[in-house]
Structure 1
Amino acid sequence: MWKIYIFSILLTFPVLSYGAGLVPCGGEGEEPCQMCHAITFVSGLFEWLATILGIIYVLIIIVLGLYITSSTGNVNAMTKSRSYIYVVTTGYIIFLAAWMLVDLGMRILVDEKTYGVWNDIQCVAQPTAQRYARVTASGDNNNVLSNSEINDRVNVINSPDSAGTEAAIEAAAKANGLTDPEQIKIFKALISQESSNCKNKTGPSTSFGTAYGCGQMLVSTAKGLDPSLAGKSDAEIADKLRNDDNYNLALSAKYYSQLLAKNGGNTELALANYNGGNAANIGSRDCPGLKRWQCEWDSPGCYGTSNTSCTPNTGYKETRNYVDNITNIADRL
C-alpha cells in the first residue's frame, strides 16, 4: 500500500506544477484559443511526462542502490537489481536521445540564431477582421453612401410603393434558405445596392461581362445556378435576367445563400464574394490574417503601421464600400 501512496504523491507534483498552464488560452484575461495552443498543450504534456520520468528514474536508482548495498552476499538479488538498473537507465537514455534528435532536426530546419529550446512554443495572437471605416486608405470615399443616401434607400424599401417588390424579395429569400430576419434584411439591402430595388435592369460592362436585373446577375453565374439554361443563347439568358424579376430574385437569393454557407454564415465574406468574386476571400499577402478585399494596402509591411509611403489596394475598394453600404442599409431596416 505504501508504494501506491508514494506513486500518487509523485504524480501530484507535476500536475500541480504544469496542469494550470497546459492550455494558456480561453480563460479570463487570456487570448482566444487557436491551433498553436493545441501544440502548446502537447508540449506541456511532454514536459509533464519528462518530469515524472526524471523523478521516477532518480528514485528507482536510489532504491535499487540501497537494495544492492543491503543485499551483500545475496548474488541473485544483486544480479536482479543490476539488471533493473540497466533496463531503467537504457529507457531513460532512449527518452533523452529522442529529445536530442528532435532538437537537432529543428536546428537543421530553422535559423539557429533565432532558435531556442525546440519545445518552447510561443503563440502569437492573430489579427481579426473588422468592419472597415467608410473612408479607404487613399482617402477617397467614392461609391460610399452618405448617411442621407442610406436613409433614402431605407425609405424607398419601406415605402408603400415598394411593398410589392419587397414582398417578392422576401419571398425569394425565404424560398432559398434565407429565413433569418437579419439575412432577409441583408438580401433586401443587397437588391437595393445592386439595382435600386429592381429599377436598374442593366449594369455596366466589366471584364466579367454585363450584369442584369434585380440582383445584377451575370449570364455565366446564372448558367451555373440554373441547369435548365443549358442550350439557351447568352442573349436569351440576358433577356430573361433583365425582364423576369421573380426569376432574377430567385437566382440572386440562391447565389447569396450558397455564398453564405460557403463562408460559414459570415455575412461580410459572403457579400465580398458576391461583389468581388471568389478571389476576394483569398488570404491577403500584405495584411496577415485578413482577406484580399479587407486589406487596404497593396504593399507589404504597411498593415498596422504608420508608414505613409504605401500603395493603397484600390482593386478591392469597391468591394469594401459595397460591404459597408449593404450592412449599413440593413442595420437601419
Structure 2
Amino acid sequence: MQKESVLAEGPGGMLWAALLRAEGFRGAVTVLPYLNPRQWRDVAMLSFYRRFAGERDRVFVGSTPSANVYRRLGVAAQVGEPFGVDQGVFRKKPNPHATAHAFRIPDGRKLLYAGRIQPDKDLYSLLRVAFRAQILFPDLRAIIASDAVDEDYLNLLRDMTSTLAVHWILNPTRDQLADLYNLADVFVTAATSCFETFGRAPAEALACGTRTIAPRYDGFVEVLAQPGGTLVDVVVGEDGPRVDEERLLRSIYDVLSSTRPPSSDEISAAALRRFGRSHTIRLLAHLTSTAPSEVQPAALPARSFALPPAWLDALSEMDRLPQSEVTSWMWTHEAHARLCDHDAEFVKSVRLNLCDPANFSN
C-alpha cells in the first residue's frame, strides 16, 4: 500500500489501523474514535492497536479526561476535535423567529436541550429541574430537540411531563437547530454519559451566542471554559456520577436572572475562535502536507485502570503472542463473550474517571 497517511473515524478506527499495519501498511494513521472506551471489546481493540501502532500515528479525542482514559489503557491520545463546529450553520442568526413560529413556540423565556433522547443523557433529571425552574419563571418553556430517539424513554418522559410546558421537536434540520440555539435564553444539559468525548451541542449553542450550563464532567469542562459557560458539580452515588440537581437549578436561576450577562456577540466570537471548523481542521493538516510532520508526544500515566482480573489475564495472553498470531486471536478468541460480562463494572470506572478533577488537566 503506497499511501502516506490514512484517516480512520469511529470506535473501530484503531481496529482498522491495526489491520492495515498487519497487511503491510507503513504510513501514518490518524484515528478519531469520537467515543470513550466502554466495554471489553473496546479495551481488546486498543491492546490490538498498540501492537501495531506507529511513531507517526495520531489519536484525537474531544477532552482531556477522555485522553487520560485512553492513555491509562496504553494509547497516547491527544486532545482535539478536528471537525469542530460548522460555523456556516451554527452562528448568530439575524431572524430565527420563523422556526419558533413553525414549531408554535410562544414568547417568553426558553430553556433548550439538544441531543440524543436516551437514558444516558439523564433527561429525567433535567426535566425535573426544569419543572422547578418554571415555578420561579412562569413564562419559561423547555424545548427538547433531537434526531436520535429511544421511543420507550421518550414515552416515559412525555408521561412525566404531561403537565409541564415542554416542546418536543424531533428531527429538526440543522438550520432549524441553529435557530433554536439562537432563540434560547439558556442551553442546559444534565448528561453524564460514558459515550461522547466532546460536548458538541454545548459548543454549538455557545457558537450561536447562547449561555450554556452543563455538569463538570468530561468534555463539558473544556468546552464551557469561556464567557457564557457555567459548570455544575456532580455527585457520585451507587449508579455513578450525576448532576447535582439543586446546583443545576441554582445555575439556571442565576443565568436567567442575571442583570449583567456576557453579550451574545462575545459568547459567539469566543466559541467560534475555539471551535469553528476553519480553525480546528488544522489538526488534520498533516494529512495533505508533503513535508514530514512531528507528532507531539503524549505521556502515558503510571497509574492505569484497575481492570477486571479476567481482562488482565486475557490481555496478558494477547501480549505474549507473536505479532503474526495477534490478528487471529482478536477475531477468534473463545472467551470474548464471557469477558463482556464485566462491561458494566468497566463503564462505572470510566465514568468516575471522567468526573475526577485530577483528570481535567494533562
Instruction: Name the TM-score class by shorter chain.
Output: under 0.3
After TM superposition, the score normalised by the length of structure 2 is 0.21
After TM superposition, the score normalised by the length of structure 1 is 0.22
Q: Highest Rg: 1 or 2? A: 1
